[in-house]
């Protein structure tokens, strides 16, 4: 019997989806998107974040990302597979696994959290895209760059969906109309590394 691989911790599961009840409320710079029932932790880096349950119930949905976990793993430098620190204790650098599609590392930013050295072979094995084109790096530092978000426009208090999956830099003036689904992080001092043995 084949061993079933674990889904990356950052992947969303079927039972975690919830409706996004968002509205516009008056703010100092005009109408600003918010959840109809605000809670602590709704905001990150100036953006309203999408909500999901955190129970990991149901099947993993590839390639859907769980907003809160993805955000947390990037902010804390945690491995997206095992959730342990992805920073190498000897070098002080973070391990990062990117798709070698000619865009990810060239852009200098990604939505992928780090992947610790010991989980890299497993991550490549379970992802068809990475099996075709994986690139391993260590990273000297990283910082939030922006978000992938769904944009809304106000109609009074109503929030009317306009666009999905838009990349916005942190300082983008549309952030008051955005519901962030993923954090983007800029990587600094990328150093290519050989693929760790599995």
Q: Are 138 and 10 a contacting pair, CB within 8 Å? A: no
Q: What is the mean pLDDT of residues 74-83?
A: 94
Note the pLDDT of residue 198.
62
Q: What secondary structure letter does DSSP report for 78?
A: B
**For residue 42, which phi and psi values (nearest 5 degrees)?**
-65, -25
**Rounded distance, CA 54 to CA 69, Å?**
8
For residues 178 and 101, which has the higher predicted lDDT (pLDDT)? 178
pTM of the model: 0.89
| pLDDT higher than 90, residue 106 | no
Residue 63 has pLDDT above 90, yes or no: no
- Phi, psi dihedrals of residue 75, rounded to the nearest 5°: -55, -40
Summarize pLDDT for 112-155 with one digit per residue, the tens. 999 999 999 988 887 777 777 889 999 999 999 999 999 999 99
pLDDT digits 0-9 by tens, 152-176: 999 999 999 999 999 999 999 999 9
Most distant CA atoms of the chain, gap in Å: 60
What whole-number distance in Å separates Cα of residue 193 and Cα of residue 91? 13
Please compute Rg for the chain using Cα positions: 18
Query: Residue 83 — left, alpha, or beta (φ > 0 → left; ψ -120 to 50 → alpha)?
Result: left
Alpha helices (runs of H) in the chain, residue ranges in sequence order: 67-76, 104-107, 120-126, 128-132
Peptide bond into 63 cis (omega under 30): yes
């Amino acid at each position: 019997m084949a061993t079933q691989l674990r889904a990356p911790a950052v992947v969303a599961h079927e039972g975690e989806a919830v409706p996004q009840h968002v509205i516009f409320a008056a703010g100092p710079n005009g109408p600003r998107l918010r959840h109809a029932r605000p809670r602590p932790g709704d905001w990150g880096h100036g953006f309203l974040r999408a909500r999901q349950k955190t129970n990991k119930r149901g099947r993993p949905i590839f390639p859907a990302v769980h907003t809160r976990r993805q955000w947390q793993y990037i902010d804390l430098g945690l491995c997206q597979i095992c959730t342990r620190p992805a920073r190498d204790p000897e070098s002080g650098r973070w391990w990062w696994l990117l798709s070698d599609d000619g865009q990810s590392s060239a852009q200098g930013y990604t939505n992928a959290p780090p992947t610790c050295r010991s989980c890299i072979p497993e991550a490549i094995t379970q992802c068809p895209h990475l099996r075709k084109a994986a690139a391993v790096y260590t990273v000297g530092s990283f910082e939030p760059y922006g978000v992938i978000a769904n944009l809304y426009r106000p109609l009074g208090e109503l929030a009317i969906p306009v666009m999905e999956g838009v990349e916005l830099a942190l300082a983008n003036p549309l952030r008051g109309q955005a519901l962030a689904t993923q954090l983007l992080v800029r990587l600094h001092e990328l150093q290519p590394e050989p693929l760790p043995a599995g």
